[in-house]
């Protein structure tokens, strides 16, 4: 499926405008395109922005909002994601958000970067994932 990178960048930038970031002043927007163009809900774009809190550790990254929006709007698997600051410059997701995106898109999920799309698997090698959990649970370990 073709990923509409210009649309993702525009959606991420617009989402960043809504960020609540009074402490870091780094407003972040994330936009993702869902797999399955032509299928119900496929190809749609979901967005999120970062939301900070006076209790700093409770801060929600933009990618958290994006993944919540994905599930709240019908679910599916992410094909491509773009994360930007309010100036429109791409950001690579933090470590926690790489793990979050892995579950929503798998290692083949493409991330926008200044140098073209990057596979999430290359940014999170040898990742722990749902299969590890299932195999250990089934083994009673």
- Distance of closest approach, residue 59 Cβ to ligand THU, in angstroms: 5
The count of C-alpha atoms lying within 13 angstroms of the C-alpha of 79, restricted to the half-sphere facing its C-beta, is 16
Q: Count the site residues for ligand THU by CB under 6 A.
A: 13
- Per annotation, catalytic residue among 39, 63, 103, 119: 63
Binding mask 20-39 for ligand THU (x = CB under 6 A): -x--x-x-x-----------
Strand, helix or coil for residue 110: strand
Contact in structure between 16 and 25 (CB atoms under 8 Å): no
Does the annotation mark 63 as catalytic? yes
Q: Is 76 one of the binding residues for ligand THU (CB under 6 A)?
A: no
Contact in structure between 73 and 41 (CB atoms under 8 Å): yes
Contact in structure between 47 and 11 (CB atoms under 8 Å): yes
Q: Which of 93, 100, 104, 123 binds ligand THU (CB under 6 A)?
A: 93
Dihedral sign for Cα atoms in the order 5, 8, 12, 14: positive
List residues near ligand THU by CB under 6 A: 21, 24, 26, 28, 50, 52, 59, 61-63, 93-94, 97
Catalytic residue set: 63
């Amino acid at each position: 499926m073709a990923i509409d990178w210009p649309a993702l960048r525009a959606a991420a930038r617009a989402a960043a405008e809504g960020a609540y970031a009074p402490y870091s002043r780094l407003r972040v927007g994330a936009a993702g395109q869902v797999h399955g163009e032509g299928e119900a809900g496929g190809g749609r774009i979901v967005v999120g922005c970062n939301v900070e809190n006076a209790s700093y550790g409770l801060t929600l990254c933009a990618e958290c909002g994006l993944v919540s929006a994905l599930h709240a709007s019908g679910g599916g698997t992410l094909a491509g994601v773009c994360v930007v600051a309010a100036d429109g410059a791409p950001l690579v997701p933090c470590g926690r958000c790489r793990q979050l995106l892995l579950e929503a898109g798998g290692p083949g999920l493409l991330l926008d970067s200044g140098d073209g799309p990057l596979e999430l698997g290359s940014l999170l090698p040898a990742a722990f994932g749902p299969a590890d959990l299932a195999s250990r649970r089934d083994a009673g370990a």
